[in-house]
Structure 1
Amino acid sequence: MATTSKMKPQPAQPKVATTLTGTMTSKHEITFFLPFAPIPSPRPQARVIGKFASFYMPKAYMDWKRAVADYVYQQVQHTPSELLEAPVEVTAEYIVTPPKTTKLSFPKPDLDNYEKSLLDALSMATTIWKDDTQVHQMLSSKRWAAEGEETGMSVRLIFGR
């Protein structure tokens, strides 16, 4: 299973444009682009060893999640500590590489599986929030990348109520 082609190495120039605006009583916003091909969250795999069953996520997915989390950790290190536990609104656009031929006008994997992958990676980064249960609103879309457009995930986070 050749899944390494889905992961992109970190670019030399950061693609993260991080902006914090407002005062501590208003909403704070962080906007960034993740230059990693979006992948949907897979189903857990199972194996039986002796009398015991264990469940795990596929290695390619875990590698992708770690790569995204490491990238976010390196680029977004200055989220104020009081925002780490604040409610968060997430807006995400998943820009997917189109296949050479398709009858679909949009990418096939379910949008909620893309959302789960992104939220899990942001949680793993530890610099965005304590837990993805803080996400109280989410607006997502998925689309094919235009010719010459980079695939990835455009993310906007708004902290506060």
Structure 2
Amino acid sequence: MKFEIAMEPMASPRPRFSSKGGFVKAYMPKEYMAWKAQLLFKWKLLKLKQEVSGKPLFVKLSFYLDPPIAVSKIKKNRAALEAETMPVVKKPDIDNLQKSVLDALNKHAWPDDNQISDIYAKKRYSLRPRIEIEVREVE
């Protein structure tokens, strides 16, 4: 299955900690939890079936991020932005982008993300921010 989610990619942040009542509790920031919920909501709108074969899965993730103003205003960058060929070599880290998508779709697009044996990811600047996801069985 191959699908696209029209939203700005977000990297998985580090957990936060609070110590109320003498207990230390870990939690994720509210903005991140809201982003994950929105991604899952958009995935459910696509009405795709979960990949439940039990076989190893290959996942391809393409992250298209909104370019900074300094990049988008330069005329020579325009063609690369339109062709979506300009790599992102700054934050967010690609592994944290992967984690956010895999965590959000776990138990929805696949039964458990431990089923993923192969993964490919890229991040590019684009005038149309989105996440493209492809899931297929490993041959």
TM-score category (smaller protein)? 0.7 to 0.9
Does residue 1:112 correspond to 2:95, yes or no?
yes
**Deviations, residues 19-78 of structure 1 (Å, cap 9, x unaligned):** xxxxxxxxxxx0011101000000000011021110100000001101111211231333
Question: Contact 2:40–2:104 at 8 Å: present in 1 too?
Answer: yes
1:86-125 correspondence to structure 2 within 5 Å = 86-101=55-70, 106=88, 107-123=90-106
Q: Give unmatched runs, 5+ long, in structure 2.
A: 72-85
Q: Deviations over 1:83-117 (max 9, x none)?
A: 2x332100111000011125x96142110000000
Residue pairs, 1:12-161, within 5 angstroms: 30-79=1-50, 82-83=52-53, 85-101=54-70, 106=88, 107-123=90-106, 126-145=107-126, 149-161=127-139
SS at match of 1:143: strand
The ranges of structure 1 where at least 4 consecutive aligned residues each deviate by more than 4 angstroms after the TM superposition are none
CA contact (8 A) 2:87 2:123 kept: no
Q: Please, which runs of 5 or more residues in structure 1 have no aligned partner?
A: 1-29
TM-score (norm 1): 0.70
How many pairs were matched up?
124
Quote the Cα distance in structure 1 between the aligned partners of 2:26 and 2:135: 32
Measure the CA separation in 1 of the matches of 2:95 and 2:64.
Answer: 15
Higher helix fraction (1 or 2): 2
* Cα distance in 1 for residues equivalent to 2:87 and 2:48: 37
Contact 1:77 1:127 in 2 (8 A): no
Structure scoring higher RCO (CA < 8 A, sep ≥ 6) equals: 2
Across the aligned residues of Structure 1 and Structure 2, the Cα RMSD in angstroms comes to 1.9
TM-score, scaled relative to structure 2: 0.81
The answer to whether the 8 Å contact 1:95/1:142 transfers is: yes
